[in-house]
Amino acid sequence: MAISSSVVFIFTFLLFLSGYVLQQQTVRSLQAAIKPPPVVVQPPPSPVLAKHFGTPPGHSFFDKYLASNRPKGGWAKVAYVQLVREHLHVCNALMLFAVLEEQESLAQRVIVYPKEWDVKPSDQKVLDPQVETSWRLLRNAAKRYRVMLQPVEPMLKTEAASTFPLAGLLSLTAYNRVIYLPPSGLVLDTSGLDHLFTLPMESDVLGISAGSEDEAILPPVVLLKPSKEAFQTALELLTPSKTYDEDDFLSRIPLVPDMPEDQIHVVTMTSSLKSEGDDFNATKFLDSTSYVHISDPKMLGPEYDASQESVASARPRGLQPKKAWQEVYERYREGRMDVCGLDLEPAPKSAI
């Protein structure tokens, strides 16, 4: 009887032990099945190599160059700076920075504008509509496109537009290089413009020429190398005893012609399309140009609703050049509406 009880006890214990072992194996299998895989921490990508420049065909030259070349001091030391003197041109600056944001340019962004525009609604009963619109656009630039707003006092107490001279941008010594794009223009691809930040400069101010007669006064792209010395030299032209002539200042700066790489243009002008021949291709032009300065002798500017007579007189006659010309103006019109919420301005009565 005692032996039978011992045998039953032993077999019961072995059965319990085998069940326990099987249970633990099942639990471990379930834990392994529901446990998430280990996360592999990847090193952060290089900000230069990760930069996206868009994918228009033919821009591989600038992409490859910028992937291995950085501006002096890095991208935090270079900036696109728009000096906005008129309310009409605030939207143009906003359109520029919208493209820089969309195409992920690493350069800094600054809008310099007259401090007198800093009028709060409480300061006067009725806010000037132009000031109100400009303030709305400036706030959008800061909020949406990470633009630094820099109000400035006039450097000369006169009524001329040159009271906010372009030479004043030489005082922005927080940056090693500044690019200014005179209004009005259309940025198609930022890589070619970003490329200019990496090039050496032997002078404090440099103009990039598009090879057009219409840029005799103001080149479509201006590069500045800010410094205390350069700004001090510019101040000598701003003494009250002299009348500052910005055209004279710009006529003294050296011009560098746009050197296309495999027919890729950094800058061009709409007025130059009139001289294009039968071999011109509108699609290739739009895909291989970084910046188009919109300037035509018979047109007030792309901000205005031009008459049919003005358009017919200004646009090229060739089929492909005309197509490119019309596309540039149409993209600018669409940009004013999409980015700024503004339609074209009516032409002044004096110009009709």
Buried b (16+ CB within 10 A) or exposed e, 48-82: eeebebeeeeebeebbeebeeebbeeebebbbbbb
Residue 67 or 278, more confident: 278
Return the pLDDT at 43.
40
pLDDT band at residue 66, thresholds of 50, 70 and 90? Answer: low
Residue 333 or 246, more confident: 333
Nearest by Cα to 77 from 112, 110, 113: 110
Q: Which of 5-9, 225-229, 283-287 has the lowest mean pLDDT?
A: 5-9
Which SS3 state, helix, strand or coil, does residue 304 take? strand
- Report the distance separating Cα 124 and Cα 329, nearest Å: 37
pLDDT band at residue 86, thresholds of 50, 70 and 90? Answer: very high
- Report the distance separating Cα 86 and Cα 99, nearest Å: 21
Buried b (16+ CB within 10 A) or exposed e, 91-119: bbbbbbbbbbbebebbbbbbbbbbeebee
Q: Which of 88-97, 98-107, 134-143, 218-227 has the lowest mean pLDDT?
A: 218-227
Nearest by Cα to 137 from 163, 113, 108: 113
DSSP code at position 122: G
- Report the distance separating Cα 48 and Cα 74, nearest Å: 10
| Beta strands in 154-300, from DSSP E residues, in sequence order | 177-180, 185-187, 205-209, 221-224, 255-257, 265-269, 289-293
Which pLDDT tens digit goes with each residue over 11-46? Answer: 676 676 666 666 666 656 655 555 545 444 344 333
DSSP H helices, 236-314, are: 246-251, 282-287, 308-314
Q: Is 211 exposed, middle or buried (0-12, 13-18, 19+ CB in 10 A)?
A: middle
Neighbours of 297 (CB within 10 A): 10
DSSP code at position 166: G
Return the pLDDT at 348.
82
Give the tokens for residue 331: 């993209």
Q: Which of 17-26, 55-64, 156-165 has the lowest mean pLDDT?
A: 55-64
CA distances from 168 to 11, 147, 234, 241, 321 (A): 98, 19, 8, 18, 37
Q: Which of 24-33, 50-59, 223-232, 305-314 has the lowest mean pLDDT?
A: 50-59
Output the average pLDDT for the chain.
80
Question: What percent of the chain clears pLDDT 70, i.e. is strictly above it?
Answer: 69
